[in-house]
C-alpha cells in the first residue's frame, strides 16, 4: 500500500492519496480544487487515479472531485445518505452513491463506507483495509472526527440558514461518536482538517491519531451525558465566514472547472487610472506586505497581504465584492490566483496590476497610512484624544486590551461602522499589526482618519504599557 497526506495550510485542509502497490491504482479522498499535487504524485509514483471519494459536501473550500473526474476519468464515490439533491453535477461522470456499510475496491484495497452524520446529514467516513479479508487499518474521518475535536454541527444553520439543523446535527453526531467507540483502539484516524480550520473549535495540530488515543484525550469522548455533549458541541464555535454558504451550494450543484474560469487582463498604469473604482464597480486589492502598503498605496485600495491568512481574509472580506483588480508581485501571481480559486474567488478577478507598475503612478493618486510605535501614541490613548479600535477576536480581547478600547473584530468590522466615533482619529490595533493594517485600509477607503499601531498588542505588552481587563461585554 502507498499512502500520502496532502495539506493545504491556508485552510488547514487535509486530503489523501492511497494506492495499491500491486495494481498501481490509486484513490484520492476529499480532494481540494487544485488537483495538480495529486496528478504529479501519481505520475511520479507510476500510479493511475481510478477512484475519487468524498466524505461530505464541503463548506470551507471548493471540492476537487469534479476536477479529478474530468481529468482522470476516475469513478466518483459519493454519499447517497442524507437528503436528496446532493452532488447534482455527478451525473456527467462515472459515479456511485454509497450508503452505510457499502464498499468498493481500488486494486486490492478494500474501502467500506460508514454513515457518520452530525457535521452534515450525508457525512460518510471510509474504513480502509489492505484487502477484503484483513482487519481495517484506518478511518478517513473527514469532518466527523478530528484530532482533539469533532466536526461542528451548526454550519447548516449558521452558514446556510436551515433553522433547527444545529440541534438535529448535534444529536446525530452524538450517536456517530457512540458508534465509532465500538471499533478497535488501534484504528488510525485520518481527518480532513487540522488546527486552524473553522470546521471545529479545538482541532489539534497533529496530522493524524488513533481511535484509542482520541478516546483518552479528545473531549468529545469525555462528555458524561448525551445532553452535555449536545450543549458543549454547539458552544463557542467560531463564526463561519460568509463564503461558506456559497461553497455548500457550488459543491452540491455546480462545481466550475478551473479551465472554465476567465483569464484576467493585465493592466498598465494608464488602464487603471481610467477606471472609476466606485462607478465601474471594481475593487482594488493590494497583496503586498502590510508595511509596504502603509508606506504608499493607491487611494481607495484594500490591504490584503499574501501570507498564510490571505485566503481566510479573502473569504471574509471579498465575498459579494465587485470585480477585483489585484496588485501582485509577478512571482506570486499564479499562487495568488490558485489560492483564490480554492474558495471560488478566481471567478471575480477582472485584472492584474503588477507591483512594478506602482512606480508609474502620479503622486496625487497615492496615499500613506500613519503607522506609529506604541511609545509614541500611549499618552494620546490614555487621554482619550484618539479612539482605539481593537480588531482582534473575542478570546484575544478577553485576555486584556488597551485602555478605553472599542472592540470591533475585523471579520465583522464593516457591519458595525455605525459604532465608530466621528471627529477624532481611530487607532487600529490587533495582535501584531497585520489585521489592523487591513482594517486601516478598509476605513481609510471610507474616509476615516486612521492610524495603525505598529506591532499591535504584542509590542504594547513588550513595552510594559498600561492595559485593561474587559469591564463590559465586547461587541460581536
- Which tens digits make up the pLDDT trace of 424-475? 999 999 999 999 999 999 999 999 999 999 999 999 999 999 888 754 444 4
CA distances from 271 to 12, 274, 340, 364, 445 (A): 37, 5, 23, 17, 21
Q: Residue range 178-184: average pLDDT? A: 96
Topology of the domain comprising 370-462 = Oxidized Rhodanese; domain 1 (3.40.250)
- Topology of the domain covering 2-253: Metallo-beta-lactamase; Chain A (3.60.15)
pLDDT, residue 135, reads: 97
**Whole-number Å distance between alpha carbons of 13 and 326:** 25
C-alpha 186/C-alpha 43 separation (Å) is 32
pLDDT value of residue 324? 94
Q: How confident is the model at residue 40 (pLDDT cuts 50, 70, 90)?
A: very high
What pLDDT is recorded for position 361?
Answer: 87
Same fold, 2-253 and 261-367: no
Question: Can you give the pLDDT at residue 405?
Answer: 94
Residues of the chain with pLDDT > 70: what percent?
97
Please check whether residue 12 is in contact with residue 203, taking contact to mean a CB–CB distance below 8 angstroms: yes
Strands 406-407 and 426-429: unpaired
430: annotated active-site residue: yes
What is the model's pLDDT at position 257? 86
Question: Residue 441's Cα: distance from chain center in Å?
Answer: 22
- Say what the pTM is: 0.92
pLDDT recorded at residue 281: 79
Question: Domain ranges in the chain?
Answer: 2-253, 261-367, 370-462
DSSP notation for 77-134: EEE--SSTT--GGGGGS-EEEE-TT-EEEETTEEEEEEE--SSSTT-EEEEEESSTTS
Which region among 225-229, 245-249, 269-273, 370-374 has the lowest average model confidence (pLDDT)? 269-273
Q: Which of 20, 199, 303, 430 does the annotation list as catalytic?
A: 430
Cα 413 to Cα 424: distance, rounded to the nearest angstrom: 18
Distance CA 52, CA 49 (A): 8
Alpha helices, DSSP H only, in 12-99?
Answer: 36-44, 65-72
Residue 161 is given by DSSP the state -
Structure confidence at residue 273 (pLDDT): 80
Question: Could you tell me what percent of the chain has a pLDDT over 90?
Answer: 83
How far, CA to CA in Å, does 186 sit from each of 141, 145, 213, 218, 307? 15, 15, 9, 15, 38
Residue with cell 499601531: 453
**What pLDDT score does 85 carry?**
65
Average pLDDT, rounded, for the chain: 93
- pLDDT of residue 96 exceeding 50, the answer is yes
Taking the C-alpha atoms of residue 245 and residue 128, their distance in angstroms, rounded to an integer, is 31
Q: Is the CATH number of domain 261-367 3.10.20.30?
A: no
In this prediction, residues 72-94 reach a mean pLDDT of 91
pLDDT of residue 84: 63
Amino acid at each position: 500500500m502507498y499512502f500520502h497526506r496532502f495539506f493545504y495550510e491556508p485552510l488547514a485542509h487535509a486530503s489523501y492519496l492511497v494506492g495499491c502497490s500491486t495494481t498501481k491504482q490509486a484513490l484520492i479522498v476529499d480532494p481540494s480544487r487544485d488537483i495538480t499535487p495529486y496528478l504529479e504524485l501519481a505520475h511520479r509514483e507510476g500510479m493511475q487515479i481510478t477512484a475519487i471519494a468524498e466524505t461530505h459536501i464541503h463548506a470551507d473550500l471548493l471540492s476537487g472531485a469534479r476536477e479529478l473526474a474530468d481529468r482522470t476519468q476516475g469513478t466518483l464515490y459519493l454519499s447517497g445518505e442524507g437528503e436528496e439533491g446532493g452532488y447534482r453535477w455527478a451525473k456527467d461522470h462515472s459515479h456511485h452513491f454509497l450508503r452505510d456499510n457499502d464498499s468498493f475496491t481500488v486494486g486490492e484495497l478494500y474501502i467500506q463506507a460508514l454513515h457518520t452524520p452530525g457535521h452534515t446529514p450525508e457525512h460518510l467516513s471510509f474504513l480502509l483495509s489492505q484487502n477484503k479479508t484483513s482487519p481495517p487499518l484506518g478511518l478517513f474521518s473527514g469532518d466527523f472526527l478530528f484530532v482533539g475535536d469533532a466536526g461542528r454541527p451548526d454550519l447548516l444553520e449558521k452558514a446556510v440558514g436551515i433553522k433547527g439543523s444545529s440541534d438535529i446535527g448535534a444529536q446525530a453526531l452524538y450517536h456517530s461518536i457512540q458508534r465509532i467507540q465500538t471499533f478497535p483502539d488501534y484504528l488510525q484516524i485520518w481527518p480532513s482538517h487540522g488546527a486552524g480550520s473553522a470546521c471545529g473549535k479545538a482541532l489539534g495540530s497533529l496530522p493524524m491519531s488513533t481511535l484509542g488515543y482520541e478516546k483518552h484525550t479528545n473531549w468529545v469522548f469525555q462528555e458524561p451525558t448525551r445532553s452535555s455533549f449536545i450543549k458543549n458541541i454547539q458552544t463557542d464555535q467560531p463564526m463561519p465566514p460568509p463564503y461558506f454558504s456559497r461553497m455548500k451550494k457550488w459543491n452540491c450543484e455546480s462545481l466550475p472547472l478551473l479551465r472554465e474560469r476567465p483569464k484576467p487582463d493585465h493592466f498598465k498604469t494608464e488602464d487603471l487610472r481610467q477606471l472609476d473604482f466606485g462607478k465601474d464597480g471594481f475593487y482594488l486589492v493590494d497583496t503586498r506586505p502590510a508595511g509596504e502598503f502603509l508606506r504608499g498605496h493607491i487611494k481607495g485600495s484594500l490591504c490584503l497581504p499574501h501570507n498564510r491568512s490571505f485566503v481566510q481574509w479573502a473569504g471574509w472580506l471579498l465575498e459579494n465584492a465587485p470585480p477585483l483588480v489585484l496588485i501582485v508581485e509577478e512571482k506570486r501571481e499564479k499562487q495568488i490566483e490558485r489560492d483564490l480559486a480554492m474558495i471560488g474567488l478566481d471567478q471575480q478577478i477582472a485584472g492584474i496590476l503588477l507591483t512594478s507598475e506602482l512606480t508609474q503612478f502620479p503622486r496625487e493618486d497615492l496615499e500613506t497610512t500613519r503607522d506609529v510605535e506604541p511609545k509614541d501614541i500611549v499618552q494620546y490613548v490614555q487621554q482619550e484624544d484618539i479612539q482605539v479600535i481593537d480588531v482582534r477576536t473575542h478570546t484575544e480581547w478577553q485576555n486584556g486590551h488597551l485602555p478605553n478600547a472599542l472592540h470591533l473584530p475585523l471579520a465583522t468590522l464593516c457591519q458595525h461602522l455605525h459604532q465608530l466615533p466621528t471627529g477624532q482619529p481611530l487607532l487600529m490595533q490587533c495582535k501584531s499589526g497585520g489585521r489592523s493594517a487591513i482594517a486601516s485600509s478598509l476605513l481609510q477607503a471610507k474616509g476615516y482618519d486612521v492610524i495603525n499601531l505598529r506591532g499591535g498588542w504584542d509590542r504594547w505588552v513588550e513595552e510594559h504599557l498600561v492595559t485593561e481587563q474587559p469591564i463590559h461585554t465586547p461587541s460581536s
